[in-house]
Structure 1
Amino acid sequence: MMIGTEPLVTLADWQSPPHNRYTFGRMRQMVPTARVAAGPAPLRLPEDGALDLDLPVGNETVRSILERTYTDGFMVLHRGTVLAELYPGDLDPDRTHMLFSVSKSIVGTVAANLIATGTLDPDAPLTAYVPEFADSGYAGATVRHILDMRSGIRFSEEYLEPGAEVRLLDQAVGWVPRVDDWVPQSMYGFLPMLKAARPHGGPFEYRSCETDVLGWVCERAAGERMPSLLSRVIWSRIASDDMDAGVDRAGAVFADGGLAATLRDVARFGEMLRCGGRNGTDQVVPQSWIEDALRGAPDSRAAYAESPIATPLPGGMYRNQFWVPHADRQVLLCLGIYGQSIYIDLDRDVVVVKLSSCPTPVDDELDNASFAAAEAIAASLA
């Protein structure tokens, strides 16, 4: 049913097709949000508009891949200049779009700033900042363990299984209807209930809860709630428009996937990283954080290869809340479900941003096609 031009959606179906083509660009109408303020001097994005969308990608083209992968917004930067800016769906330049797990990389840069100022110690136990974890599965885990998703916590990321921990977390946050009365009605009530499956510091395993724990730790270390903290250390220093941050009933930001921003501001974030963490003369994120992500720890690739769950990007690794696909090239990826991505090629000075509303949370074929398109674009600009 429709009233005027707006679909009738509920908490049970707002993330499902066909509604998600509408809702992903209107998060503040769907769930409670807080404002993350932008600043007076956003990173400049001069325009050129010279990208050939008919560039071959295997048996396809960039254009055909964009058309079949539910693209809502697409932008390509080369050396800071906009070569393409497209809004094939319902999105427009002034509206924020949900980033899902791209949020993880953004929250990771908040931690980077706190570490650089000595406010946060990556080698400290989580309990040094959040004593509530003392009797939980996170007891004994360090900040570094969760930055690289190498804690031993038990947490299923199977989005389509109702009993999976990721779905229980959605209940706690209020993003899906409550069907389990025992689930706390707050994220910070839920996280200390998680149990360990193995010792901390072992193989990589992608789990969204790690970033929610990181967000809580950052808040406690800084003595500041995430909306103002994120604005102060990152967003006000690069962005043109305010960001939306999904919050639970207690006002805690859903750090693992609750951020929403305009296409241009997402590109600004990627460009800042490409420039070694700088916006002009402002060192927004320590360059050493980016270099460390690209280099990894001595065992990062081995830990990735030993993951107990299927992982994308064979031969890659995960470090500092970034995906690092190549051992021989400087490329960072920020990835989110339903087709969100930032591709940052520091060797070729290229940033590719894609915001989407795919029908399912994970579709390997669509995700691989989008990655191949970004790789082809970067290669063509080398």
Structure 2
Amino acid sequence: MAAVLAHQGLLDRAARTSFYVPELAGTAFGDARIDDLLHMGTQVSYAGRPFDKSIEAQRYFAVIAPRLRPFGYSGPTTIREHLLTARAVGAPGSGFVHENGNVEALAEVLRRITGVSTSALLGELLWSRIGAEEDAYYVLDGDGVEAASGGFSATARDVARLGEMLRCRGAVGDRQVVPEEVVTDIVGGVPDGYPRRVRLPAAPPTSSATLSYHDLWWIPNDAHGSYMASGIHGQRLFVSPGLDLVVVHFGSQVVSPAVPVVPLVQAFLRLGVHLDSTAGAATR
């Protein structure tokens, strides 16, 4: 959605977040550029705590889910309050740190630009135009604001429709839903200044950094122009235009340093190559 609004000239990627959300000025997100949010380029500490991804994930869950708050919790109770506690510990764009606050700050920017909620914007730009069979749902915080970085719920069939629209360069049949330039830019290259190779958050620090990250999409850098949206517990939307392949995977994998990362991307690619070769043989 951010890329579409930028394509329409409504969102300036080079602008600071505080230009759109003035109350975030002085925070790690407010002083960052929109492109920093889209590439996980902020260096952040919340409420003076040293950053630890697993701890901050638990704190984020406590913000949006009262039942997950520890005894005696006195921290933020809304996403906006949570973002206001973020302070920069490094220059924006100086490194890659996968952090939910980037997506939440970006979602607030989109709400300010359009004047509508995240769910209404998604419905207008995408969901109502891809032939979705079912409504999709967002988790809400105490202010009734959608959580943009997690908690989105939709059927596998409708997520596949979203992926198929992207595989077809933004089109559904003869109707262009998303500008073709927006879709092709997903794998068009990471902008200068951001890391070219990164690893999934759950990957061991000793593992090779082979993925790229652009506009909140993971890029496997394979020969087929593939890209992927990835959820914390194994949910995946994998789009591979070169293999004519869209894969939706719903999972519930354990997130622990003691549990190896499941090689889903490799499995998807092997599946796609096999189907592609089978289809080619049938054609011949």
CA–CA separation in structure 1 for the residues paired with 2:120 and 2:94: 34
Distance 1:298 1:327, change over 3 A: farther
Superposition deviation, residue 139 in structure 1: 3.6
Q: Does 1:220 align with 2:115?
A: no
Distance 1:154 1:288, change over 3 A: farther
1:215–1:255 CA contact under 8 A, matched in 2: yes
Off by >4 Å, runs of 4+ in structure 1: 305-309, 361-364
Superposition deviation, residue 362 in structure 1: 7.7
Superposition deviation, residue 218 in structure 1: 0.6
Distance 1:183 1:311, change over 3 A: farther
Higher mean displacement: 181-190 or 215-224: 181-190
Distance 1:313 1:275, change over 3 A: farther
Higher mean displacement: 325-334 or 300-309: 300-309
2:190–2:213 CA contact under 8 A, matched in 1: no
Aligned match of 2:227: 332
CA–CA separation in structure 2 for the residues paired with 1:115 and 1:285: 12
3-state SS, counterpart of residue 230 of structure 2 = strand
CA–CA separation in structure 1 for the residues paired with 2:11 and 2:251: 34
- TM-score, normalised via structure 1 length: 0.65
3-state SS, counterpart of residue 266 of structure 1 = helix
Letter aligned with residue 372 of structure 1: Q
Q: 1:242 aligns with which of 135, 138, 146?
A: 135
Q: Does 1:165 align with 2:56?
A: yes
1:313–1:325 CA contact under 8 A, matched in 2: no
Superposition deviation, residue 367 in structure 1: 2.4
CA–CA separation in structure 1 for the residues paired with 2:227 and 2:235: 14
Distance 1:371 1:216, change over 3 A: same
Aligned match of 1:56: none
1:190-201 pair list within 5 angstroms = 190-201=82-93
Distance 1:326 1:217, change over 3 A: same
Distance 1:219 1:188, change over 3 A: same
Aligned match of 2:211: 316
Letter aligned with residue 193 of structure 1: T
Aligned match of 1:13: none
Letter aligned with residue 129 of structure 1: Y
Distance 1:121 1:176, change over 3 A: farther
3-state SS, counterpart of residue 195 of structure 1 = strand
Aligned match of 1:122: 13
Aligned match of 1:365: 260
Aligned match of 1:374: 268
1:273–1:290 CA contact under 8 A, matched in 2: yes
3-state SS, counterpart of residue 210 of structure 2 = coil
Aligned match of 1:8: none
Aligned match of 1:342: 237
CA–CA separation in structure 2 for the residues paired with 1:303 and 1:207: 18
Aligned match of 1:111: 2
Q: Which one has the bigger strand percentage?
A: 1
Letter aligned with residue 220 of structure 1: R
Distance 1:244 1:307, change over 3 A: closer
Structure 2: gaps of 5 or more residues: 277-284
Letter aligned with residue 135 of structure 1: G
CA–CA separation in structure 2 for the residues paired with 1:181 and 1:305: 34
Q: CA RMSD in A?
A: 2.5
Letter aligned with residue 357 of structure 1: S
Q: Does 1:145 align with 2:29?
A: no
CA–CA separation in structure 2 for the residues paired with 1:346 and 1:366: 25
Superposition deviation, residue 197 in structure 1: 1.5
Aligned match of 1:178: 69
Higher relative contact order (CA 8 A, sep 6+): 1
User: Percent of aligned pairs with the same residue?
Assistant: 29
Equivalent residue pairs, number? 268
Superposition deviation, residue 211 in structure 1: 0.8
Distance 1:123 1:334, change over 3 A: same
Distance 1:147 1:356, change over 3 A: same
CA–CA separation in structure 2 for the residues paired with 1:329 and 1:346: 6
CA–CA separation in structure 1 for the residues paired with 2:206 and 2:137: 29
Letter aligned with residue 19 of structure 2: A
Deviations 1:196-236 (A, max 9, x none): 12000122221121111111111011111111111111111
Structure 1: gaps of 5 or more residues: 1-109
Aligned match of 2:164: 271
Letter aligned with residue 271 of structure 2: I
Aligned match of 2:280: none
